[in-house]
Amino acid sequence: MSKTTTDPTPPAGDEDLGAAASQLSTAPEDTLNVPSLGVIGWARWFWRQLTSMRVALLLLLLLSLGAIPGSLIPQSGTDETKVAQFRKDNPTLGDVYDKLGLFHVYSSVWFSAIYILLFVSLIG
């Protein structure tokens, strides 16, 4: 019978293959070579986002949610006596509502900002 032995040292050509195999990988590189957008790139990205249908629907939802306090809380432009009565009945809540602009929702800055953004989103 012949005796077979296995040599634990690989042949000389296999060392190069092992080194090459360790350099090959399907994992993404650690550093991505993405160019920076710059001011014009960011402006284009913002404009594309603003004029998308998804943002228009989101702004419409925000506008409808913002109109709810205008329907439930007395407004200073329409009925000043109810606003005064509300402030008299609820002094702490009246101060908070006044700071948030809930006594004049339809002329407040935040409601106007949502309205203008929705207008630009739909026209653009």
pLDDT, position 35: 67
pLDDT, position 123: 92
Who wins on pLDDT, 121 or 30?
Answer: 121
Residue 38: left (phi > 0), alpha (psi -120 to 50), or beta? Answer: left
Q: What would the mean pLDDT of 10-23 be, rounded to a whole number?
A: 63
In the 8-state DSSP scheme, what is residue 76?
T
Query: What is the domain partition of the chain in residue ranges?
Result: 37-123
Length of the chain in residues, anyone?
Answer: 124
Q: What would the mean pLDDT of 36-59 be, rounded to a whole number?
A: 91
DSSP alpha helix (H) spans, 32-76: 38-50, 53-72
Q: Are 75 and 105 in contact (CB under 8 A)?
A: yes
Q: What is the band of 24 on the pLDDT scale with cuts at 50, 70, 90?
A: confident
pLDDT in tens, 69-124: 999 999 998 889 999 999 999 999 999 999 998 999 999 999 999 999 999 999 98
